[in-house]
Amino acid sequence: MSFIEEVIKSLRENIREYGMFIALFIIMLVFTIATDGLFISSRNIVNLVNQTGYIAVLAVGMTLVIVIRHIDLSVGFLAGFLGAVAAIAMVSWNLPVAVVIPMVLVLGILAGRLTSFLVADLGIPAFVATLAGWLGYRGALQLATRATGTIIIPNDAFNAIGNGFIPDFFDIDVLPGIHKFTLVLGLLSIILFIFNQIRNYARMRRQNIEMTSTGLFILKLVLVSTLIGGISWILAGYQGLSWTAVVILIVVFLYHFVTTKTVLGRHIYAVGGNPEAAELSGINVKRITHVVFGSMGMLSALSGILFAARLQSATTTAGNLFELDSIAAAFVGGVSAAGGVGTVVGSLIGALVMTSLTSGMNLMGVDISYQYIARAIVLAAAVIFDVTTRRAAK
């Protein structure tokens, strides 16, 4: 088999995994051409990443909720409400940021546990239970902001989460205007990635596990390294890695680790694949439900913090439609509505696809009505792609 044939074969076999990466690449390419390179400019990409932040963290949590066959409609206004709580805690109660953030995250977990109490312990369908949450948190947000209207957050440290950038520790004279520390981080990730891949590859070779050819393996290394390098270079061209990007990376890394390497992750997917079988195998399905909704609540709080920090204020409509954006991101990223299928990284890509669409069409000056229709088509196409490739695989 020639190398080209093997590449094509691998693409065909793993089309479901690579599909969304290819989609993201094509969307970015099209917008870059359509906007004469404005789309791929450092400033726009940094902005795009920061815009994706509060949806991406929700999409990560929503992935697990949908994997265990539930849904959470309350996350948007819960995020908005907890963002307002954070603002009030800093402005009216004069609490320091270091206290406010953990406090709000814990409140998020408690809110998630309230949902899972309704869903797991009382057996109320998640759709209904979280619809009630949607109404309730919307009311709570309006109550919290009624006295003052929009609450301006004067705290620089807090606002940096949504607008700030990591400092450049290598502020030397080479490459002026380029964020050196971001480049160093990018380089480190590439080295770490290659090292890790080679170690895995060697182990698989030792154990004689079926695997790809060396040529394809090197191609994958080169492609991913180029991607990381390219993104680092683009980000470094503006002000470097934003704190929002750091938050996204930490959340995605943690959740990717938990879902792929730990017993908890295995149990979550087992519950999603067959709840009865999971229960019979001794997996505590209720406990998994509590954990997943608890994590969703915590990520809602994080989303609220990111959004409030980005606007440097808590508004009366914060969180509006976040739930639908994050659900759409998860589905675009390959999560299956039937449960049991979907990855955290996929949902991050899904979120990036959706924000890229908005950002690109904004740059092109596309009317907002057409923007919604375009996003509808992408969402539908993603799910159609998912369903047909799944059927073909059987």
Partner 1 sequence: MGDAVDIHTVVEMINIKKSFGAVQALRGVDLTLHHNEVLGLVGDNAAGKSTLMKVLSGAYIPDAGKILINGMKASFTNPMDARRLGIEMVYQDYALANNLDVSANVFMGREVVTIKAGLLGVMNYPYMEQETRSLLNRLKIDISSVRQKVERLSGGQRQAVAIARATAFDASVIIMDEPTAALSVAAIDKVLELIRELKAQGASIIVISHRLEDIYQVSDRMIVLRQGRKVSDTPVEGDIHEFRERVVAYMIGARDDFTEKAIS
Which residues of this chain interact with partner 1, rule CB under 8 A?
Answer: 203, 207, 209-210, 258, 261-264, 266-267, 269-270, 272-274, 276-278, 280-283, 291, 340-341, 393-394
Asked if residue 172 lies in contact with residue 180, where contact means CB atoms within 8 angstroms, the answer is: yes
**Min separation Cβ 228 and partner 1, Å:** 25
**Min separation Cβ 212 and partner 1, Å:** 14
Structure tokens at 303: 């989303």
Instruction: Compute the distance between CA of residue 111 and CA of residue 118 in angstroms, rounded to an integer.
Output: 11
Residue 94 vs 208, nearer CB to partner 1: 208
**Min separation Cβ 299 and partner 1, Å:** 17
Instruction: Compute the distance between CA of residue 74 and CA of residue 308 in angstroms, rounded to an integer.
Output: 18
Residue 86 vs 292, nearer CB to partner 1: 292
**Min separation Cβ 288 and partner 1, Å:** 9
Residue 174 vs 263, nearer CB to partner 1: 263
**Min separation Cβ 270 and partner 1, Å:** 5
Residue 202 vs 376, nearer CB to partner 1: 202
DSSP state of 314: E
Residue 162 vs 272, nearer CB to partner 1: 272
Please name the residues in contact with 54: beta carbons below 8 A apart, sequence gap of 6 or more.
79, 303, 304, 306, 307, 310, 322
**Min separation Cβ 205 and partner 1, Å:** 13
Instruction: Compute the distance between CA of residue 15 and CA of residue 343 in angstroms, rounded to an integer.
Output: 15
Residue 179 vs 290, nearer CB to partner 1: 290
Scored b (16 or more CB within 10 A) or e, 274-288 reads: ebeebeeeebebeeb
Q: What is the dihedral of CA 46, 50, 52, 53, to 10 degrees?
A: 140
Instruction: Compute the distance between CA of residue 384 and CA of residue 382 in angstroms, rounded to an integer.
Output: 6
* Vertex 294: Cα angle to 288 and 296 (nearest 5): 105
